[in-house]
Chains A and B, each alone.
Chain A
Amino acid sequence: MTAGSNTDFVLAVEGLTVSFDGFKAVNDLSFYVDENEIRVIIGPNGAGKTTVLDLICGRTRATAGSIKFRNQELTKLKEHDIVKAGVGRKFQNPSIYGDLTVFENLEISYPTGRSVFGALTFKRTDAVVQRIEEIADMIFLKDQLHTEAELLSHGQKQWLEIGMLLIQDPTLLMLDEPVAGMSVTERQQTAKLLRTITKDRSVIVIEHDMQFVAEIADRVTVLHQGRILAEGTAEKVKADPKVVEVYLGH
């Protein structure tokens, strides 16, 4: 493993490689994310986009390379310690707790009482309730606090999961296809939501919808076969002939 250099970036990924039985899903990847930047990762299926997020949040272990979050090496940390360091991740399929209410979903994500003893003695204080209501308002679910999450629509589930991350107030937020399966109105609302929540934090988004990408991205990274194909602003990337050939062309 390379040591990785110390930088001013929120996230510095250097020489990141992961191989599954010889197949290199991510191959010698390096990229850097600035403070308050919204970075969108695009690329064809199997390009390794989700794997990159898996690697950052510790779900998959890197074969080689370094991931530094505010100069703290993440590749050896446990998943829950990565979360505690300030990295939040939304999964592709909405992962919410169907048997619990919206309120309880958010409450579990509230970042205190994370040990066994802490969970046993956790108290639903006014501060907790207030924060949950605040977040619920932000994610358009204020009227649904009592609803069991299973009963929410697909789009609402996506918002709920985003809310569950927001309540942790992560420094780096990673969203895997946040608008997949959403209606046009929901999509617009989500774009608005993303713009409000991305103040004061860095965000990595995986997305396919180029219009949506252009709307939110500061910079775009195009992945292809586990490597970076192009990087830059949305316009620059869209105009890149290599990108058009492997991804946008069809």
Chain B
Amino acid sequence: MSFKSFSDFMPRQDILSFAVLALILLVVLPLSLDIFRLNLVGKYLTFAFVAVGLVLCWGYGGILSLGQGVFYGLGGYALAMFLKLESSDPESTRIQSTPGIPDFMDWNRITELPWFWEPFHSLTFTVIAIIVIPSLFAYLIGVAMFKRRVGGVYFAIITQAIAAIMTILIIGQQGYTGGVNGITDLRTLKGWDIRSDFASYVFYFLAVVLLFVCLFLAQYIRRSKLGRLLVAMRGQEDRVRFSGYDVANFKIFVFCVGASFAAIGGAMFTLQEGFMSPSFVGIVPSIEMVIFCAVGGRLSLVGAVYGALLVNFAKTVLGETFPELWLFAMGLLFIGVVMAFPNGLAGLYNSYVARYVDRLLDKVFGPQRSSDAYRPASSDTVPPAAPGLRQNSTSPTEGAIS
């Protein structure tokens, strides 16, 4: 443990925000929503995983990935492959010309299970693959980009291109991937019906628990020296390099962490919705994921969760009523947030509410023991103005991706 005390790891305001989020997700929502709505929230939460990863990558590290959908998809597809194989036993697929392989393969006249599908018969392999494959892919991208000092806008564009390539690949290789429909009709997990109401409850709570695991991991990284290094690199990469750090390694690390969080989110999506499709992999969903993070506040882990919940909720409500308008609304929202509230909802909270909460906490628990003597008392609750507004970057949008 690299912290002297628990309050170094979690200052008072962080404990409060984690606790409030836990209360909402574990008590308030399950008690007040029916299972259909709760399942929707569970689906939104899968995007919160991505948003939390983006807080580390983008908010802290300044690495804007417009291709997080790729990792979300890889995680989701890995689990979908396992579930699909389970529901494609020879008995239930006996009407196919080749029984025992997924239905879409049969439709595409494939007569043998492709080699890369074979290991997905094993649940253990699948669970490991959900984390390892996306992390490995992120590692390869990271090495190729960051070791060559590709960054900023160029990195964002390349990740976006990778998202596009991935979608095209999945859609094009219909026989191996299920094509544009994705992998559908997933029914059981080790013989257990994943479509029952009870399963939905279980998966919802599983998603919440895993999200908190990710949140605590992210909090650990954020509060460690590595977190401060990321902030340092964001503005003065050369200074960090000439202080004896191999800057690329830190970027690769945080990019891999972001990718694995996204992959867990993707897998939880598959589990809760019973399918995975390329529509969660491409450019548009990847950009949406960045918007969740921006709206919630790219420097706030908990904020990113609220961002994912609120934007997705708005998407469901508005998207159902005005489907054509939704994309425009989303674009406006992104521009508006980046221009006017670069720190998102969390920034608003910190500027206007946090100090009252702090005073209240002072009254209840007494003044905060100076857990971190080398930060001004309020500086953790009032994060620095957005990097976008600093002198290092000339415009908010540029700051957002530099």
Contact = CB atoms under 8 A, between A and B. Distances in A.
Interface of A: 57, 59, 78-80, 83-84, 88-89, 91, 95-101, 103-105, 107-109, 111, 113-116, 119-124, 145-148, 150, 161, 164, 168
B363 interface: no
Contact of B244 (A98, A103, A168): A168
B374 interface: yes
B124 interface: no
Contacts of B390: 98-99, 150
A113 B249 CA distance: 13
Given A97-B239, A148-B379, A164-B243, A115 B2 contact: no
Contacts of B8: 124
Contacts of B225: 107-108, 113, 119-120, 122
B239 A80 contact: no
A97 B231 contact: yes
A119 B232 CA distance: 13
Given A59-B242, A109-B243, 4 more contacts: A96-B236, A99-B387, A101-B376, A115-B249
A88 B241 CA distance: 11
Contact of B224 (A100, A109, A115, A120): A120
B221 interface: yes
Contacts of B226: 116, 119-120, 122
A83 B236 CA distance: 16
Interface of B: 2-4, 8, 220-221, 224-226, 228-229, 231-232, 234-236, 238-247, 249-250, 253, 373-376, 379, 384, 387, 390-392
A95 B239 contact: yes
Contacts of A146: 373-376
A106 B376 CA distance: 16
A133 to B, nearest CB: 10
Contacts of A97: 231-232, 235-236, 239
A77 B247 CA distance: 15
A211 to B, nearest CB: 29
Contacts, number: 114
Nearest to B387: A99
A119 B242 contact: no
Contacts of A145: 374
B295 to A, nearest CB: 22
Nearest to A118: B225
A164 B221 CA distance: 23
Residue from A88, A96, A120 having most chain B Cβ neighbours under 10 A: A120
A108 B374 contact: no
Contact of B239 (A84, A96, A119): A96
Contacts of A98: 235, 384, 390-392
Contacts of B374: 101, 103-104, 107, 145-146
Residue from A97, A147, A148, A164 having most chain B Cβ neighbours under 10 A: A97
A95 B238 contact: yes
A108 B228 contact: yes
A38 B295 CA distance: 53
Contact of A119 (B229, B231, B234, B391): B229
Residue from B235, B247, B250, B387 having most chain A Cβ neighbours under 10 A: B235
A25 B166 CA distance: 45
Contacts of B242: 57, 59, 79-80, 83, 88-89, 91
A83 B249 CA distance: 16
A119 B4 contact: no
A73 B373 CA distance: 42
B392 to A, nearest CB: 8
Given A80-B245, A91-B238, A148-B384, A119 B375 contact: no
